[in-house]
Structure 1
Amino acid sequence: MGRSAGKRAAFALAAVVVVAGVSGCEDGDGGTKPGASSASPATQSREEATKAVRAAYGRTAEAKSAKVEMRLVVSGTEGAGSSTFTGVQGWSPSVADLKVTDSSYLADIPGAPVETRAIASGGTTYMDVGAAQAAQTGGKRWMRIDPEQAAGEDELLTQLTAGLSTVNQDPAKELGLLAEAPSVRHLGPVTDDDVKAQAYEGEPAGGKHVEVWIGADGYPVRIIVETTTGKTLTKLTTDYTGYGTGAAVQAPPTEDTFDFMELLKKIVSGGGQA
């Protein structure tokens, strides 16, 4: 897809990136990132670090849900930008009901709401595009996005939708993968506001860098996942509280939804307007 077509599809592309989780945080992911410059020298062996991460995995898997605040930043691509998500997230099954705020993507869409809502259910993400944009979609407010649909499509579409599964992130799965990584290591104690934790990091398979802060109760209080896909860097920083919070999430009625990929293909082919 050429640049001119990308501009014509500004609404659709920006909207999908809002829920794509392609965020980056060079200067403001909401906290102090632990590392060699901010954490104390590692005091735990690899075996001890692995044991701590595995124990956190067990607790998280059992909890099945939590309240979350996610800061999502994308860099190195035409879709660069950031968004914040707050709400509740569940895993086993994977669901989420999130308010989207502080979004550079929404800010770039004429007539778009300052904040909106994203729902994830059954492997599909839905975003409320607002009343003004619904006038372009037959009055349907919920854009339906399936990350699997982007496979094999145009390179830009692939980049923009590569992070869609982020909203459906399973923290227990991330911890399980980290525990199995041969590179898992203890960074030392970290502090952010009133949160005190022990930080661990590693590189599971799949081109990811995962960092987890584990609180005194053994639950993760923060997970940072960085993924590089081509020239795109996606960084998701998620803070967790209220483990075990109910996550009763329902997808919007089918008659109130429209398909993102179908809309975008229509726009790109010249059969619609952005």
Structure 2
Amino acid sequence: MLTHTVRRVGLSVAVVAALTSVAACGGSDDGGKGGAEKENRGSSVVKVDPIAALVAVQKKTGQAHSARVEGDTTMGSVMSMKQTGVMDWSDGITGTMKITYTAGTMADTLKQAGGSGTMEARYFKNGYAADMGEALARQTGGKRWINYSYDDLAKVAGASGEVMKDQMQNSTPEQGVKSLLASGDVKKVGQEDVRGVSATHYSGTVDVADLTAKTSNLDADEVAALKKQLADAGVTTETIDIWVDKNDLLVKKTERGEMKTGELDSTVFYSDYGTKVSVERPPAAETVDFAEMLKQQQGATAGAAS
């Protein structure tokens, strides 16, 4: 039977892998609010209506279907991680991602369980799989992969789980552009260099709860529960910045906001649009199902209470 630590790690990995995919396809960076303010101090914000330009960017990026992604995400004291891989959004989200935990309590938990600090995640239309390496294999008879379905995660996390499920199945790089269009205060900052590419910088601030409620398929009760979860976490607004090249393709996206555990700061770079993405499911003999892990934990808890 799996230990409580490994089961707890399994849930931590679920969150890490899910957030990594959403960040990669829905975006973020260090050039968020602070970057925009710095640019504004150096020169006045360009007074140009950016709506038409962003509509073109949304369409062009959405039609590209795939890209190579690289990013960094920090969620206060909970987690810091780096991710690199490829994503395809032509029919749901599929792809592979290498995730390295660099700091935070979640990273400590994973490492204490025997993990190396680096994990591979493979994303499919209805779920994803995470390679936990030898730390998991030693307790599962050689099964090093945990398989997660979005339906199972939604049941565990409530309203926020339903949002995660929706985002994991439908988020694409163009979603960051849609968020800016919905913010109501989007502005064109100016031209900047992004890894040697001349790009146009746009910035805006969104109300996280209201935007999520509008763009997800939650009912009234789920929206109310989500807003309470976000309020309890101290999440209110986020500043979103995007950088677009001359071909109307997203090359960089950042998000920045505040949580009770500290600052949310995410940055993602996009390149090689149209790259081929091929994802294979891990061998069944090397895979343990997350739902089964939860059943074992519930059984162990019930046994201890009786």
What does residue 87 of structure 2 align with? 89
In 1, the alpha carbon distance for the partners of 2:61 and 2:144 equals 34
Which TM-score applies when normalising by structure 2?
0.68
SS at structure 1 position matched to 2:38: coil
Q: How far does the alpha carbon of each residue in 1:135-165 deviate from its partner, in whole angstroms, 9 at most, with x for none?
A: 223322221223443445468xx87997675
Alpha-carbon contact 1:66-1:244 (below 8 Å) kept: yes
Q: Which runs of 5+ in 2 are unaligned?
A: 213-236
Q: Aligned pair 1:256/2:289, yes or no? A: no
Residue 254 (structure 1) shift: 4.2
What does residue 118 of structure 2 align with? 115
What does residue 202 of structure 2 align with? 200
Q: How far does the alpha carbon of each residue in 1:215-250 deviate from its partner, in whole angstroms, 9 at most, with x for none?
A: 233211111245789979754321001111111223
Which of 126-135 and 261-270 deviates more? Answer: 261-270
CA 1:186–1:269 in 2, change beyond 3 Å: closer, same or farther? farther
SS at structure 2 position matched to 1:133: helix
CA 1:128–1:161 in 2, change beyond 3 Å: closer, same or farther? farther
CA 1:161–1:176 in 2, change beyond 3 Å: closer, same or farther? closer
**1:139 maps to which of 117, 139, 142:** 142
Amino acid at match of 1:199: H
Which TM-score applies when normalising by structure 1?
0.75
What does residue 130 of structure 2 align with? 127
Amino acid at match of 1:242: D
Q: How far does the alpha carbon of each residue in 1:193-232 deviate from its partner, in whole angstroms, 9 at most, with x for none?
A: 5343222123272265432111233211111245789979
CA 1:247–1:59 in 2, change beyond 3 Å: closer, same or farther? same
In 2, the alpha carbon distance for the partners of 1:187 and 1:6 equals 50
1:36-75 correspondence to structure 2 within 5 Å: 36-39=37-40, 40-45=43-48, 48-75=49-76
SS at structure 2 position matched to 1:36: helix
In 2, the alpha carbon distance for the partners of 1:233 and 1:160 equals 22
In 2, the alpha carbon distance for the partners of 1:50 and 1:169 equals 21
CA 1:90–1:226 in 2, change beyond 3 Å: closer, same or farther? farther
What does residue 18 of structure 1 align with? 16
Q: Aligned pair 1:185/2:192, yes or no? A: no
Higher helix content, 1 or 2: 2
Amino acid at match of 1:141: R
Amino acid at match of 2:191: P
Amino acid at match of 2:268: T
In 1, the alpha carbon distance for the partners of 2:265 and 2:160 equals 14
In 2, the alpha carbon distance for the partners of 1:160 and 1:13 equals 12
What does residue 270 of structure 2 align with? 240
Residue 30 (structure 1) shift: 7.0
Residue 31 (structure 1) shift: 5.0
Q: Would you say how many aligned residue pairs link Structure 1 and Structure 2?
A: 257
CA 1:262–1:120 in 2, change beyond 3 Å: closer, same or farther? same
Q: Aligned pair 1:170/2:169, yes or no? A: no
In 2, the alpha carbon distance for the partners of 1:74 and 1:61 equals 27
